[in-house]
Amino acid sequence: MASAPSYLQSLNTQQRLSVESAHKYTQILAGPGSGKTRVLTSRVAYLLQVANCNPRDLIVATFTNKAANEIKQRIHTLLGNEKSSKIISGTFHSIAYKYLSVYGKHIGLAPKWLVADRSDAKAIVKRLLATLKKAENSLASGIRGQELTPENVLTRISKMKSSGLLAKANSPELILLRGMDAPPPELQSYQSTELYKLYQTTLRKNNLMDFDDLLLHFILLLQTYPSCIANIKHILIDEFQDTSRIQYYLLKLLAQKDTAITIVGDPDQSIYGFRSAEIENLNRMTKDFKGTQVLNLEMNYRSAYSILELAFSIISQDKARPQKGLKSDFFMSLMPSYREFETNQKESYWTACEIKRIVECCPRLFTYDDFAILVRSSSLTRSLEHALTELGVSYRMVGVHKFFDREEVRDVVAYAKVIANRDPTSLIRIINTPTRNIGKTKVDRLLEESERRNLPLWQILVKVSENNILLSQRQDKSFLKSVKNFIDLIERLDRESHDKQKSVSDLISSVLREIKYYDFLRKKNPETYDEKWDNVMELVQQSDVLAEQEEVGLLEEGPQETSLQKFLGHVTLASNDKEEEKSSKVTISTLHAAKGLEWPVVFLPCVCENIIPHSRSEDVDEERRLLYVGVTRAQALLYISSFKNSVGSYNDNENFSSKQDISSFLRSYETRKYLSERDIIFNNQLASEISIILNRKEYGTVQNVSIQEISDRPNKTYQDEKSSTEKPAFVCSRSLAEKELQKRARDQEFMEVPDEPLNKENTLKRKGNFDIREFFSKKEDPQLTSDVGKTRFLHQQGKQTLLTDGSNNKLHGISVKDIGNRKIPRRTVSNEKSSMFTKASSLSSPNVSERPMCSLHNEGTEQSRNIETSEMESPNGSTSKNPLQSSQGPRKKRLGVRLRASRML
């Protein structure tokens, strides 16, 4: 009997059941970090290798192009390129594009159609609104009182299309696709309908489709010509909880020929309701496809168990969710940290300081690339960016700059679109780029003439060049010459694009050379032209790769596309994905953009009521799922924080109440018990636990750095400090201190503590210049602890004594130099209360505040008391007044407490 393939042997029981499922319809509900991509990839490999399916008979639909490429790459690794290259995979939109490119003739699509991206669509709507402002008709008068922008008009049209409303060619009315439910009344108003028809007419006139049109026309194709998918035997869909109603209807059409379905999703991570995603699709599937098998993947391979406990307590507040749990093999004694601050500025500054402190404490375990700050909306990043900049911490903003959205890249792509099919939106962009004496006034006249004569802009331009149209009584000869030269340029490049000996990179190079684009960039952007030119060269280098359309298993041959058309199709689809930068920087991202990603350390600031859940959100359950997604991005360390008072507004358009309260998702006792308000203390034990979770073999020596030290030197980097030639001071370790305290407990019953503040002078010179390294020279220990702000070394008759202030149950290493370089007030606790770095405020529950919430809490150990509090607990359990509070007595007081190692740990 042949052994199972290696990719099956490495799966756990539930994963393998999912991969080998013999059910026709299978739902795999995969929690965060449960290996859903691995399961989906293994399922595809199993169908091809074990079930002997033809790769041309499989459709694999994903939510992003990145996910599609990752799945294809993994299948290629498992089975080789011969099979993986023939699978029909991609997003719903890219799959629709592939089928429409071949079978579009069956539903009346004209050849050489292109996809209008979001920027093109906005430009079209902007021109429509500008035209309507000057018009005198019922539609124009109906929208004048409304604050319409291209963005909200496109959003409204997109919702209409997502509801199944289609504007068919040569039809004055909108039609509802067969099988779709009627859209809500607000999407059927006169203004919405007329704007939709005007927009669609403009697209059709210029042989364009937007992204929503791809899905609508794909549905029309499957209804009209279902034989185009007669070969499809299996459909696999990733991130099913993020599918819209129109995408679910597509699934039903794709599966109409007795096709098997496997979907992977997680209802707890459905957070794209604003994109028309419907979590109800999971329930619809079990009703529409009888006998659907539901399998749960509950083993999490990403996060520590303490993080999952918090995540589960948050998501379990939704009583209507499917009952499923989370498990983890990663134990860590550390609980997620919660802090509350007076203002959002203090919260941001503490966040930046803590990130820098962690890197300095564990320089071989963490880099800035391991950190993410996840916020509810991008408007919350201003103070965070300022704090990180002040401390010299590099950061990246995820999704802010997409490659294909960069101005210089869009210019080159616009030239390619004009060459391919005289796209009017792109034509407006490049007609005077670089400058060629065709300014905005003349372009407006050309557009007016195009509207008046109902002709494409390119035809108007040609007629102007032939003197068949006069834009003014006296035609400007230089303008006329510029128009003729421009038309000659485009037509010459068009002929070159049909030369099979010429590649797309050759064509783009010709464009750049003809228009002298390098000189244009250098003149327009003297400071940044080299970076912009690098982006153009990157596009040139990638153009031939993008033009190589992959072979797909369709049943018919479509019309022959030029390499330029293939290139433009792939560019438009690729521009919908986010660019991924690689550098050692802290990531600042919104919670939505962070979905599917993970980081060793995650900070969730601004977890306040009216922020999350957002005050304008209509779905509180989706807001809860959004916080759940944020929590489950963390692998090892998780910080959650909030603030009481906001200082100023977050941006010009969004003001929150000046008084804030912690998010309602974190108020319940069942959730609060999984949060710690203690400072996280780094030592070798914690570093070892983290290294296991992150699968990092070495974590090096844990340094001793306090957050106060970071704050005191905001612009001093750790690398600068490391470059110092001074030898590092000896650092006392926990085990060493324990042994020494046990020895002293036997040798003496009481010890004396000086009542005056410690500083460099009285520390090093009192009782002689004593060096702690001489005292412990034979007792060095590799296990080091790090929070220097919690430990004191006191000199007493030529010896040193280690004390704690009772705020945690660990001993902490500190050097003599650390003490000498800063003044430690006698009333440390009361002074800390006024500091922004004080322990976070209690969560209002007496039970929680009394419970030891130390992240490194060890059962069976007794928490030490602060020697400076008003009362102290004696060994027999009774309390006595702290002699340091007395106003009488000698300068040196005697502590009525035995020093016992068991009470210090």
Q: What is the pLDDT of residues 92-115, one digit of tens each?
A: 999 999 999 999 999 988 888 999
6-108+224-297 and 404-552+561-575 agree in CATH topology: no
pLDDT value for 813: 45
Q: Please give the pLDDT value at position 706.
A: 84
Count of all residues that appear for the chain in the document? 905
Instruction: Report whether 789 belongs to an annotated binding site.
Output: no
Instruction: Tell me if the bond preceding 613 is cis, omega within 30° of 0.
Output: yes
Contacts of 682 (CB under 8 A, 6+ apart): 358, 361, 362, 702, 785, 786, 787
Mean pLDDT of 482-501: 91
Q: What is the average per-residue pLDDT within 762-785?
A: 38
Q: What are 330's two structure tokens?
A: 């990663």
Report the C-alpha gap between 57 and 257 in whole angstroms.
12
Q: Could you identify the residue written with the tokens 């421009």? A: 486
Whether 801 has a pLDDT exceeding 70, the answer reads no
How many alpha carbons fall within 13 Å on the CB side of residue 676? 23
The pair of structure tokens assigned to 349 is 């500054």
- Given this model, what pLDDT does residue 796 score? 35
**Per-residue model confidence (pLDDT) at position 181:** 65
Read off the pTM.
0.67
Q: What whole-number distance in Å separates Cα of residue 428 and Cα of residue 457?
A: 9
Residue 323 sits at the vertex; the CA angle it makes with 318 and 38, to the nearest 5 degrees, is 110
Give the range among 1-10, 60-69, 166-175, 607-616 with minimum mean pLDDT. 166-175
Confidence of residue 173 (pLDDT cuts 50, 70, 90): low
Side-chain-side CA neighbours of 475 within 13 Å: the count stands at 13
Q: Residue 398's pLDDT band (boundaries 50, 70, 90)?
A: confident
Question: Hey, is 799 helix, strand or coil?
Answer: strand
The confidence score (pLDDT) of residue 852 equals 34
For residues 132, 136, 139 and 144, what is the CA-based torsion angle, rounded to 10 degrees? 70
Q: CB neighbours of 569 closer than 8 A, spacing ≥ 6?
A: 97, 101, 114, 115, 549, 561
pLDDT of 594 over the 80 cut: yes
454: pLDDT strictly greater than 80: yes
Q: What is the distance between the alpha carbons of residues 625 and 620, in angstroms, rounded to a whole number?
A: 9
Closest CA to 825 of 894, 881, 756, 751: 756
Q: Averaging pLDDT over each range in 66-70, 238-242, 545-549, 756-760, which range is the top one?
A: 238-242
pLDDT over 80 at 475, yes or no:
no
Place of tokens 């103070």: 383
pLDDT of residue 811: 42
- DSSP of 542-568, one letter per residue? HHHHHHSPPP---SS--PPPPHHHHHH
- Architecture of the domain made up of 327-394+583-694: 3-Layer(aba) Sandwich (3.40)
Query: What is d(CA 254, CA 235) in angstroms, rounded to the nearest whole number?
Result: 8
Q: In percent, how much of the chain has pLDDT > 70?
A: 69
Tokens of 853: 């919430």
Residue 781 pLDDT > 70: no
Out of 45-49, 698-702, 828-832, pick the least confident: 828-832
pLDDT > 90: percent of the chain: 34
pLDDT computed for residue 761 by the predictor: 42
- How far apart (Å, rounded) are the C-alpha atoms in residues 672 and 642? 14
Burial class (CB in 10 A: 0-12, 13-18, 19+), 316: middle
d(CA 217, CA 169): 11
Per-residue pLDDT band for 583 (boundaries 50, 70, 90) equals: low
**From the CB of residue 603, how many other CB atoms can be counted at a distance below 10 Å?**
27
Asked whether the predicted pLDDT for residue 430 surpasses 50, the reply is yes
d(CA 863, CA 865): 7
Of residues 4 and 861, more confidence is placed in 4
CA-atom Rg of the chain in angstroms: 34
User: Is 292 strand, coil or helix?
Assistant: coil
Residue of 123 and 748 predicted with greater confidence: 123
Q: Residue 40 pLDDT > 80, yes or no? A: yes
Q: Is the pLDDT of residue 884 over 90?
A: no
Cα dihedral angle (52, 55, 57, 62), rounded to 10 degrees? Answer: 120
Question: What are the boundaries of each domain within the chain?
Answer: 6-108+224-297, 114-206, 327-394+583-694, 404-552+561-575
How many Cβ atoms sit within 10 Å of the Cβ of residue 710? Answer: 23
- Among the ranges given (433-437, 533-537, 648-652), the one the predictor scored with the smallest mean pLDDT: 648-652
- What is the C-alpha separation between 591 and 337, in angstroms, rounded? 19
* Per-residue pLDDT, 732: 40
Provide the pLDDT confidence category of residue 183 given band limits of 50, 70 and 90: low
Residue 26 is predicted with a pLDDT of 96
Do the annotations mark residue 806 as ligand-binding? no
Q: Is 36 annotated as a binding residue?
A: yes
Q: What angle do CA 381, 382, 388 make, to 5 degrees?
A: 85
Q: Measured at the alpha carbon of residue 372, what is the angle toward residues 369 and 373, in degrees to the nearest 5?
A: 145
Q: Write the DSSP assignment of 622-667 as a string of letters.
A: HHHHHHHHHHTTEEEEEEEEEEEE--S-SSSS----SB--B-GGG-
Give the pLDDT confidence of 129-152 residue by residue, as tens digits: 888 777 666 666 666 656 677 888
Average pLDDT over residues 445-453: 89
pLDDT at 367: 94
Distances (CA, A) of 788 to 337, 350, 618, 859: 19, 17, 47, 24
Instruction: State residue 368's pLDDT score.
Output: 95
Greater confidence (501 vs 576) lies with 501
Please state whether beta strands 260-265 and 234-237 pair in parallel, antiparallel, or not at all (unpaired). parallel
pLDDT surpasses 60 at 459: yes
* 103 neighbors 221 (Cβ within 8 angstroms): yes
CB of 503 closer than 8 Å to CB of 563: yes
Whether residue 728 is annotated as binding a ligand: the answer is no
Q: What is the pLDDT of residues 827-856, one digit of tens each?
A: 333 333 334 444 443 333 333 333 333 333
Task: Tell me how far apart the alpha carbons of residues 635 and 658 are, in angstroms, rounded to a whole number.
Answer: 33
Q: Give yes or no for residue 554 having a pLDDT over 60.
A: yes
pLDDT tens readout for residues 299-326: 999 999 999 999 999 999 988 888 888 8
φ/ψ bin of 399: left (φ > 0), alpha (ψ from -120 to 50), beta (otherwise): left
pLDDT bracket for residue 169 (50, 70, 90): low
Mean of the per-residue pLDDT values of the chain: 75
Q: What is the pLDDT of residue 335?
A: 92
CA distances (Å), origin 720, targets 501, 717, 738: 56, 5, 34
Instruction: Give the single-character DSSP code of 895.
Output: -
DSSP symbol at 789 = G
- Distance CA(843)–CA(678), nearest Å, equals 12
Has 35 been labeled as part of a binding site? Answer: yes
- Phi, psi dihedrals of residue 227, rounded to the nearest 5°: -65, -15
Mean pLDDT of 70-79: 86
CATH number, domain 6-108+224-297: 3.40.50.300
630 is known to lie in a ligand binding site: no
For residue 403, what pLDDT is reported? 72
Q: Could you tell me which CATH number the domain at 404-552+561-575 has?
A: 1.10.486.10
CB environment 563-599: b (16+ within 10 A), e (fewer): bbbbbbbbbbbbbbbbeeeeeebbbbbbbbbbbbeeb
Tell me whether strands 293-297 and 208-209 are parallel, antiparallel or unpaired: unpaired
Residue 653 pLDDT > 60: no
pLDDT at 675: 93
